[in-house]
Amino acid sequence: MWQKLRVVWQSWDVLLLLFTLLLLVVGLAELYSSSLSRPELSPLFSRQLAAAALGLGAMLLASLADYRLYRSWSKLIYVVAVALLVVVLVFGQTLRGTTGWLRWGEAGFQPVELVKYLWVIALASYLAYVGSPLTAPKTVVTTVLLLPLLGLVLAQPDFGSGFLLLVVWAVLLGVVPKPRRWWVIMGGLVLVVGVIGSLFLRSYQQERLLTFFDPHRDPLGSGYNVTQSVVAVGSGGWWGRGLGLGTQSQLKFLPEQHTDFVFASLAEELGLVGSLLVLALWVGWFSRVLKLIRRLRDDFAVLVAVGILSLFAVQVVLNIGMNLGVAPVVGITLPFVSYGGSSLIVSLAAVGILQNMMRQYGWQAPAAEGRQRTRS
């Protein structure tokens, strides 16, 4: 057993693991800092530690399981994704107006966090099976697969997660070779999906979009969160006020400082220098995944890796953007850093899938070799 684990460790990308662990430590430090002035957050720190332990275990297991097995079970994976969203709508707990959590006593799970990655696997499997070029009928099929998931997520309602499902769909379709006329068809489909999605927008979500264009239109109402976030970021200066010493976060002016606005809390306490270091960790993380993608020779593996990369990239960009007031507030957290057990466990498991791909191909695989297009 130990010999097998040693072999696994030697085949991992240590830098990707290091960047992941450092981001995890930053998130735990910020959560601990937030709990100093808010006793109600103290239990969350312990829960996040437990989720981190479970997530690291999930990462190890995912790194041991051959990623190609997911392709064999892709149809069942899609059915499970739909079933999870139906179950949570029927039996889920409603928090802040969103019915998105399944709870067992003190333990809870947010199925949509897992569904995001199940959708990546299901869509990647279909696109790898039908091969290129991407035609109109194939695109229509992917749209038919997307709509049940998107409709169920928006019914919770969870606009942020619905947007991420849509991003995965658009990105994976975008990387598959296709004729030029496909872009016209895609433009029409995006317009249709966008119109349908807008019908599910609640009044508070519409208000968030209006506040994005004019944060000062209601500074004490819908614009309060963004205003306080920008103030927190600016008050950090070069070196920050220090962990546990941020006035905006510790005096409770900054809302959701441990989830949606964790980057603003981080910027206030660690300053511009600390914020740039965190951004550097993310740049390093993305660079390792991009290096992996360039070496993969299996279409399914490429699509899964691109899907995982797109999920992380959009969450990072949108979360930091809304903390800086340059993106609308859509309820998207910062992976590894924001509080959230479900998100943390699933995100670490996704890193395990990437590590498994690295084990399969290694860093010596020539990038110039053609990719395999096998059908399952």
Give tens-digit pLDDT for 282-321: 999 999 999 999 989 899 999 999 999 999 999 999 999 9
Q: Can you say how many angstroms the Cα of residue 145 is from the centroid of all Cα atoms in its chain?
A: 20
Instruction: Please list, in sequence order, all residues whose beta carbon lies within 8 angstroms of the beta carbon of residue 308, skipping any fewer than 6 positions away.
Output: 117, 120, 289, 350, 353, 354
Q: How far is CA 137 from CA 141, 142, 181, 184, 193, in A?
A: 6, 9, 13, 14, 17
Structure tokens at 119: 């959708």
DSSP letters of 82-145?
A: HHHHHHHHHHPEEETTEEEEEEETTEEE-HHHHHHHHHHHHHHHHHHHH-SS--HHHHHHHHHH
| Residue 233 forms part of a structural domain | yes
Q: 238 has which bridge partners?
A: none
| Residue 259 forms part of a structural domain | yes
Looking at residue 242, what DSSP letter applies?
-
pLDDT at site 367: 42
Contact call for residues 221 and 203 (beta carbons, < 8 A): no
| Residue 375 forms part of a structural domain | no
Instruction: Please list, in sequence order, all residues whose beta carbon lies within 8 angstroms of the beta carbon of residue 91, skipping any fewer than 6 positions away.
Output: 102
| Residue 184 forms part of a structural domain | yes
Contact call for residues 349 and 281 (beta carbons, < 8 A): no
The alpha helices in the chain, defined as continuous H runs, are 2-11, 14-37, 42-64, 68-72, 74-91, 111-130, 136-154, 159-175, 181-198, 203-213, 224-235, 247-250, 262-295, 299-323, 341-361
pLDDT per residue, tens digit, the chain (376 aa), is: 556 556 555 678 999 999 999 999 999 999 988 877 777 777 889 999 999 999 999 999 999 999 999 999 999 999 999 999 999 999 988 887 788 899 887 778 999 999 999 999 999 999 999 988 888 889 889 989 999 999 999 889 888 899 899 999 999 999 998 887 777 777 776 777 667 666 666 666 566 555 555 555 555 555 667 778 888 887 878 888 877 777 777 667 677 788 888 998 999 889 899 999 999 999 999 999 999 999 898 999 999 999 999 999 999 999 999 898 887 777 789 999 999 999 999 999 999 999 999 888 765 444 444 444 444 4
Contact call for residues 236 and 246 (beta carbons, < 8 A): yes
Locus of tokens 């498991």: 349
| Residue 209 forms part of a structural domain | yes
Locus of tokens 């039996």: 91
| Residue 370 forms part of a structural domain | no
- Structural domains counted in the chain: 1
Domain that holds residue 82: 13-361
| Residue 281 forms part of a structural domain | yes
Closest among 361, 367, 303, 296 to 128, alpha carbons compared: 303
Per-residue pLDDT of 211-248, as tens digits, reads: 555 555 555 555 667 778 888 887 878 888 877 777 77
Contact call for residues 349 and 63 (beta carbons, < 8 A): no
Contact call for residues 59 and 351 (beta carbons, < 8 A): yes
| Residue 3 forms part of a structural domain | no
pTM: 0.89
pLDDT at site 375: 43
Locus of tokens 């998130």: 27
Gap between the Cα atoms of 169 and 166, Å rounded: 5
